[in-house]
Structure 1
Amino acid sequence: MKLSGSAVLTPEGFRPGTVTVENGIIQAVETGGTLENTESFNAGNGYILPGFLDIHIHGYAGADMSDGSVEGLGRMAKALAREGVTGFLGTTMALPERELMQAAGSYRQYRRAPEPDGAQLFGVHLEGPFFSQAKRGAQAPEAVIDPDEGLFTRLWEAFDGEIKLMAMAPELPGAMELIRLASQKCRVSVGHTEADYDTACQALSSGADHITHLYNAMPPFAHRAPGVIGAAAEKARFCELIGDGRHLHPAVVRQTFRWFGGERICLISDCMRAGGLPDGAYTLGGQVVTVKNGRATLHDGTLAGSVTSLSECVRRVIRMGVPKEEAIWSATLRPAQSVGLDALTGSLTPGKRADVLITDENLMPRLVLVGGRVVYRAG
């Protein structure tokens, strides 16, 4: 299959060209011209992009990674693919060990027979349960605990060693020891934390290299107390930003891309099960969430993730003033790099999986390929 268009995203920017796909792999990317024949899909004035990769997403289309449902994972994967999200990390909540083990069981079963028309489930993002009670956000208070090396090891084994990212608060007892242990197996992120600047720096020197939804669920930056945000600016390799337009002011999003540099930003959705569904009452981590006018909150008004797909987050941050190329790279190559998947996906590079998104001029999906398979075609 040949995919041709006037705006193929390359490391040098958008160029006219053709992407050749065979046997699920990108075989060639040729720039300088387009094809007009029956073997090619011509994007016209649209864009040919790497598929979006969401490394922090709890649920979508009524399903949640933590449900322990194989059918739910398939429904989630299929709905995400239609949005141009070709890959994701199933993200858990802070839950009792028994429920996390149930999620691990369904994860293993799904990986053996995944949804053929769905986004690729590349692994697991363990968000919690080792968090600060004061900064737990929408995490259930009874499930938030201090670091436990034994529990991490049991979960690592239960998820078949496919935990790609683990978020935790570094100020808790035993946290630094767990960071050193876990970072030998997966990427470790600082999040849901009250850590001060020095503690965050220590964590980022002990094996953590990632920040969970920067600005959210952490102390604010202050000129005498720079905290996690100040430490992240100096030492973090990657920082997540929720791009739904509700968790962060547009000016903060624009300024963070300038301050940190786009090469360090991973756009995430932090989406919960209500994504793609109408307003109403839903659950997240065992707690009731009310979605009204696209805003998900607990009973006390605490934001409970988003209801926005990563593709919509990309469109929104572009409207906020982030350059188009930077916004797209922050939802493709950067997250792939951040969790060690960039040899497989994240860019239109020969030898990588053919996870490809063709959009119209407004970045709305027209054609989606996951591993070279057409999983969605508009109209």
Structure 2
Amino acid sequence: MKEESVSVKQGKKALFYLIVQYQTDKIEAERTIQMGNGNRGNTMIIKNGLVFTPEGKFEKKDFYIEGEYVAKETTDNKEVEAEGCYVIPGLVDIHFHGCVRHDMCDGTEESIQALADYEAANGVLAICPATMTIPEEELFQAMNAAREHKNGKGADLVGINMEGPFVNKEKKGAQKEEDIKLADVELFHKLQEAAGGLIKLVDLAPETEGAMDFINQVKDEVHVSIAHTMADYDTATEAINRGVDHITHLYNAMPPFSHRAPGVIGAARDSECYVELICDGVHIHPSCVRATFEMFTDKRIVLISDSMMATGMEDGQYELGGQPVTVVGNLATLTEGGAIAGSATNLMDCIRTVVKEMHIPLESAVRCATLNPAKSIGIDDKYGSLEEGKYANAVVLDKDLNIVSIIQKGQVK
């Protein structure tokens, strides 16, 4: 057989690539029509889904999106069929440290973007990552990196949770003892300036020197949370009366609740504070989680992941706040000493755990991972519920709580 010329071979190769490109464009066009892809605009109707309403119930209804926002109605004919699926707001995680081998304390744009990408892929569309008790210069570096970050790809960076350095050494947990400081208003203001005002939560132990005065001075500019503390009931109650409105990872790194010494937990119960719960199946026993929902109701509980950089990775050796951590499954512990060092799971998995293994109603779990965290840091004007005028951030789940589709600001991801 006569050998083909070079020009004929090149022509066939070019034709092959044209066919491949045509097929690719055809598939993408079909996907655009079926899923309302942002390539043709982002106005759509999600049909027949069980939509999580602002009242905290699932209702079979259509859900409308106009541009980046939830709409009352739209005349656009692009539709997403959600029959048999749940449609919930994009999750809001206000307390996690890292994932996919990156940490907020890395202080780099690369790490913040990695956090944003991973969280968005798992239905968490607004993030308020937490710093740790680390050297002051590293803390400033983390704040600077957050200030410079530009939202647009991945989850929105909506704030910073400053967990440390104003904690009690006796309940330091995985916080580095040599970097723990007394509450310092001047330092906080400098860090807030470096962060461009992004610090939404600042944690402290109210029994430590200067903590009450700190609360008095900053309560109107940031949400203050009790954390890593030895405070008794009276001290915690005084702190709450002065302006504390949040409790960090309830039960963990604080005295236990007892019939004669209710401590921080009892003080929180007698207040209107939001309380964080880590429902990863490791930090808190399922019975205690159920009792907490009875005690605080789903109006005040905030589900958090408290995840560290091993989340989304295999078991092995990692780091948290400059300290080596060993991870096996969902359990992360300091390599030296064995203290629990955050979790190795994401917030969507926490919802699955709290519903399937701890038997909390899905409606309650969703509220505690969406509206409550958004309200607790003051971003519920745009995030946390599927209400007209808020960002069209939604996650479509099947009956087994697997992600079917993610919609961020009106775009199907």
Give yes or no for TM over 0.5.
yes
CA distance in 2, matches of 1:127, 1:374: 34
CA contact (8 A) 1:29 1:348 kept: no
* Residue of 349, 360, 368 corresponding to 1:312: 349
Of residues 185, 188, 193 in structure 1, which corresponds to 2:221? 185
Looking at structure 1, the residues matched to 323 and 56 of structure 2 have their Cα atoms a distance apart, in angstroms, of 46
After superposition, residues 340-359 of structure 1 pair within 5 angstroms as: 340-359=378-397
C-alpha deviation, 1:374, in angstroms:
2.5
Q: Distance in 2 between matches of 1:105 and 1:6?
A: 42
Task: Looking at secondary structure, tell me which structure has more strand per residue.
Answer: 1
The total of aligned residue pairs comes to: 367
Alignment partners' CA distance in 2, 1:215 and 1:346: 25
Q: Could you list the per-position Cα deviations for residues 89-126 of structure 1 after superposition, in whole angstroms to 9, with x for gaps in the alignment? A: 0210011210011101111121xx33x33011101111
Query: How far did 1:29 drift?
Result: 6.8
Q: Distance in 2 between matches of 1:96 and 1:352?
A: 38
Asked if structure 2 preserves the Cα contact closer than 8 Å seen for 1:336 and 1:345, the reply is yes
1:145 aligns with 2:188: no
* Partner amino acid, structure 1, of 2:142: A
SS at match of 1:16: strand
**1:17 partner amino acid:** K
Kindly indicate whether the alpha-carbon contact (under 8 Å) linking 2:226 and 2:248 is maintained by their aligned counterparts in 1. Answer: yes
1:208-247 Cα distance to aligned partner (Å, 9 max, x none)? 0110000000000111111101101001420000010100
1:283 counterpart SS class: strand
Aligned-partner residue type, residue 164 of structure 1: K
Aligned to 1:48, which of 66, 87, 109?
A: 87
Unaligned runs of at least 5 residues, structure 1: none
Give 1:324's match in structure 2, choosing from 362, 365, 385: 362
Contact 1:5 1:47 in 2 (8 A): no
Counterparts of residues 170-181 of structure 1 (less than 5 Å): 170-181=206-217
CA RMSD of aligned residues (A): 1.5
| 1:369 has 2:412 as partner | no
Q: Name the larger-Rg structure.
A: 2
SS at match of 1:235: coil
Greater share of residues in helix:
2
CA distance 1:315–1:29, shift in 2 (3 Å): farther
C-alpha distance in structure 1 between counterparts of 2:348 and 2:48, whole Å: 20
Q: Does 1:129 align with 2:153?
A: no
Q: Tell me, yes or no, if structure 1 residue 232 matches structure 2 residue 268.
A: yes
The one-letter amino acid paired with 1:363 is L
Q: Following TM superposition, by how much is the alpha carbon of 1:12 offset from its aligned partner in structure 2, in angstroms?
A: 5.6
Instruction: Output the TM-score relative to the length of structure 1.
Output: 0.94
Q: Identify the residue that residue 121 of structure 2 maps to in structure 1.
A: 82
Code of the aligned partner of 1:15: E
Give the whole-Å Cα distance in 1 for the aligned partners of 2:223 and 2:394.
25
Question: Identity percentage over the alignment?
Answer: 44
Structure 1 letter corresponding to 2:90 = G
Say if 1:85 and 1:311, in contact at 8 Å, map to a contact too. Answer: yes
Match of 1:19?
63
2:280–2:330: 8 Å Cα contact kept in structure 1? Answer: no
Kindly report which structure 2 residues correspond to 1:191-206, keeping only aligned pairs within 5 A, or say none: 191-206=227-242
What letter matches 1:350 in structure 2? E
Quick one: distance in 2 between partners of 1:159 and 1:293? 34
Q: Please tell me whether the aligned partners of residues 70 and 390 of structure 2 are also in contact (alpha carbons under 8 angstroms).
A: yes
TM-score (norm 2): 0.87
Aligned to 1:95: 134
User: Which whole-Å CA distance do the structure 1 matches of 2:48 and 2:114 have between them?
Assistant: 31
Q: Does 1:6 align with 2:43?
A: no
